[in-house]
Structure 1
Amino acid sequence: MTMSFGPRQLVLALDHAVSYARDDFLAGPSNAAALGLVERWPDWPNRVMALVGPEGSGKSHLAAMWAEISGARVLAANLLSEETLPTALATGALVLEDLEPEGLDERALFHLINMAREEGAYVLITVRTPPSAFKVAIRDLGSRLRALPAVTLSAPDDTLLRLVMVKLAADRQIALDQGVVNYVANRIERSFAAARAAVLRLDEESMRMHRPVTRALAAELFREDAGA
């Protein structure tokens, strides 16, 4: 098959389209509990829930799916403040995306959790580390975070890791054959972030070298990673 690299070089610096549709979510043992939480809404154990997992583990995809189902607004956690609080629960549901302890408006988060309970609203928080471990100055907020139910997304199994690589490559208009996928998957950390980095590396090097993404190219790029 003849491959042309010219057109793709023109969009190298641009973001690649990512679909957050349910049909594009890759399910596996590592995210089964989180997917179950989203799909059984509003039958939740608590009005406020947390999705915990590393970067690239699928938290944003799941949150987007839940927002579509629930009509939730989506608010970046670093924008939560006492000024944005009055409209945060306007639809009765909110995704609070990428909560981190650094720069956290503790008072606003404390009031948000209380408001959700008082108003019968739902909040889904995405976060990389368990909120129960956050060091906060407001004691009552600390107790609420420790009591907050959380569902954790774990590292992908081998099958899901390979599927993720194929999906990430397809987002970049690359068709990875099974030989490339298996070779790379056996030489990277078993994590979503590592899969993303590997596909990006293959894409960038194939365009830089004007070569298709083949097992030979993968071997050149990842042989040293395996200690060969």
Structure 2
Amino acid sequence: MAQQLSFDLPSKPALEREDFFVAPSNAMAVALLDPAFHWPSGKLVLTGLKGAGKTHLAHVWARQSGAWIIPAHALPYEDLPMLSEGPVVVEDVPDIALDPEAQEALFHLHNLVLAAGHQLMMTGRPAPNLWGLTLADLQSRVQAATHAALEAPDDALLAVVLAKLFNDRQIAPKPDVIPYLVAHMDRTFASAARIVDQLDHLSLSEKRSLSRPLAIRALSQIRKED
């Protein structure tokens, strides 16, 4: 009997404003992205752990403001004067801590965007004073930005993050799965993403519904791997 193939289709993240759950851990960041709010310095640093929602909020703000979204490492290859004609989001700035050319490009983009009266958002995981940028003038400008941190999730937010990750993959866990995961998993966004990925693979490979016993097995496998 021929084995049936299972297709591991890529998930499509939902990045609309209504897809983002506001909780105490992220409420300040959400408030700062309101179109009516003008950042005092014209620039905002958005930080948080992997999966905390930085990219989601960056896309929401970019749609509201008409901003370009550029990864920091790509800046040396971009037309900086053209980018500075409107607001800009530069993602993952700490990734260029050892890239003098990219840091120089961000420094010039920063000055051009603000001189033109537009807003600049920069994202990274740690607090801006820990980004380790070797261009002192750039590091000082980063630290002068308004800072919004996305904090670790509480139970309610963790449950919503799990539900969103499952929905992004178009899979529906049984009702008792998410409460079980929230009670037993590591309390990080990265852990949520890893668990959903593991459950998706298990469900596909074994052609089983996403149930609590499957969740127990997934968590056990992750703990053994760690």
TM over 0.5, shorter chain = yes
Helix, strand or coil: the match of 2:89? strand
Unaligned runs of 5+ residues in structure 2 are: none
Select the residue among 164, 168, 182 that pairs with 2:165.
168
**Aligned positions of 1:69-148 closer than 5 A:** 69-81=64-76, 84-90=79-85, 92-100=86-94, 101-103=97-99, 105-148=102-145
CA positional deviation for 1:221: 2.5
> In the TM superposition, what is the alpha-carbon distance from 1:161 to its structure 2 partner?
0.4
What are the superposed Cα offsets for residues 59-91 of structure 1, whole Å, 9 maximum, x if unpaired?
A: 11101110111011111111112753122222x
CA distance in 2, matches of 1:185, 1:83: 42
Residues 192 and 41 (structure 1), Cα distance of their counterparts in 2 relative to 1, 3 Å cut: farther
Kept in 2, the 8 Å contact 1:55–1:128? The answer is yes
Change (3 A) 1:82 1:222: closer
Identity of aligned residues (%): 36
Contact 2:35 2:65 in 1 (8 A): no
Q: Which residue of 1 aligns with 2:191?
A: 194
CA distance in 2, matches of 1:178, 1:102: 46
Query: Structure 1: where are the runs of 5+ without partners?
Result: 1-5
CA distance, structure 1, for counterparts of residue 196 and residue 69 of structure 2: 28
Which secondary structure state, in structure 2, belongs to the residue aligned with residue 221 of structure 1?
A: helix
The aligned length equals 218
- Normalising by structure 1, we get a TM-score of 0.87
Residues 129-138 or 46-55, more deviating: 129-138
Whole-angstrom CA distance in 2 between matches of 1:139 and 1:222: 44
**3-state SS in 2 of match to 1:56:** coil
TM-score normalised by L of structure 2: 0.88
The reply to whether residue 181 of structure 1 matches residue 178 of structure 2 is yes
Contact 1:133 1:146 (C-alpha < 8 Å) held by counterparts? no
Native 8 Å contact 1:38 1:66 kept in 2: yes
Asked whether the equivalents of residues 47 and 116 of structure 1 are also in contact (C-alpha less than 8 Å), the reply is no
Alpha-carbon distance change, 199 to 147 in structure 1, aligned in 2, over 3 angstroms: same
Contact 2:23 2:157 in 1 (8 A): yes
**Secondary structure of the residue that 1:62 maps to in structure 2?**
helix
RMSD across aligned positions (CA): 2.1
Q: Is the Cα contact below 8 Å between 1:56 and 1:193 reproduced in 2?
A: yes
State the alpha-carbon separation in 2 of the partners of residues 163 and 46 from structure 1.
33
Residue 206 in 1 paired to residue 222 in 2?
Answer: no
